[in-house]
Amino acid sequence: MATLGRLALSAASLDEVYAEAVSVIAQGLSVEFSNVLVLEGSQKSLVLQAGIGWKPGWMGQPVGDTQQQTHTSSVFESHEPVIIHDFSEEPQFIRSELLASHGIVSSVDVLVGGLEKPVGVLGAYSTTIRHFSADDVSFLQGVANILSAAAERHWTNQRLSHMALHDSLTDLPNRSLLTDRLNVALSFAHRHNQHIALLFLDLDLFKHVNDEPPRLYRRLHILRGWSHELTKTIFPRSPGASCSISP
């Protein structure tokens, strides 16, 4: 658990943390199967993002829907751990194709993320009847809490990075990102003996727009309209091109 906590603070991607988490669960709870199901598609579809024990071909695939009457949908509805000792005695729950194809009999699942911004579900599964204890649930919830913190850290870093590299009005890449991308392109062109092109457009008399009230709204409206037209008319003909704004 301590190793997972350290990884959550230093990992470059959430996938690394998820992979370590399912390993920790499988070993800590002595189960054959464990997984992290992540919400995607307007938070309705559950994708198998990481797992232990599952057959090849399932990873990265949608394996559930929060709208179906399954044990995972119950986790989202109740915001509480859901324990199933024997699926054959729980007819109210539809067993997913993933679980049915692997002969899963018992399961315990907990929510990852907060009530307002859930990340997904963390689960442990067995092919034999298993009565998961309160200690088992606490262990699983502890891992889920670490994943929740890692996801929040990842989202925060993404927001800060985006804010640092994009114009606050138009959300276009700013001068810093342009410089970085240009240096990368120049290095690539130099290594492969290729050429690159840089298109610079100057908006005439734009100072007058800044001087007229309401300046902020007019500037935002014009720049967004200009960037939209540029992207629509020029970029489809130039794969790999990007648009940047510099005040």
Predicted confidence (pLDDT) per residue in 152-175, tens digit? 888 787 777 777 777 776 677 777
Summarize the confidence of residues 240-245 as an average pLDDT.
Answer: 54
pLDDT at 115 over 60: yes
Q: What is the pTM of this model?
A: 0.70
In contact, 148 and 113? CB cutoff 8 Å: yes
What distance in Å separates the CA atoms of residue 46 and residue 38, rounded to the nearest whole number? 5
Question: What is the overall mean pLDDT for the chain?
Answer: 82
Residue with more model confidence, 76 or 128: 128
What distance in Å separates the CA atoms of residue 242 and residue 48, rounded to the nearest whole number? 33
Task: Give the list of residues 6+ apart from residue 35 with CB closer than 8 angstroms, or none.
Answer: 22, 48, 49, 50, 51, 52, 54, 122, 123, 125
Helix (H, G, I), strand (E, B) or coil at 122: strand
Phi, psi of 193 (to 5 degrees): 55, 50
How confident is residue 224, by pLDDT bands cut at 50, 70 and 90? Answer: low
pLDDT at 238 over 70: no
In contact, 10 and 94? CB cutoff 8 Å: no
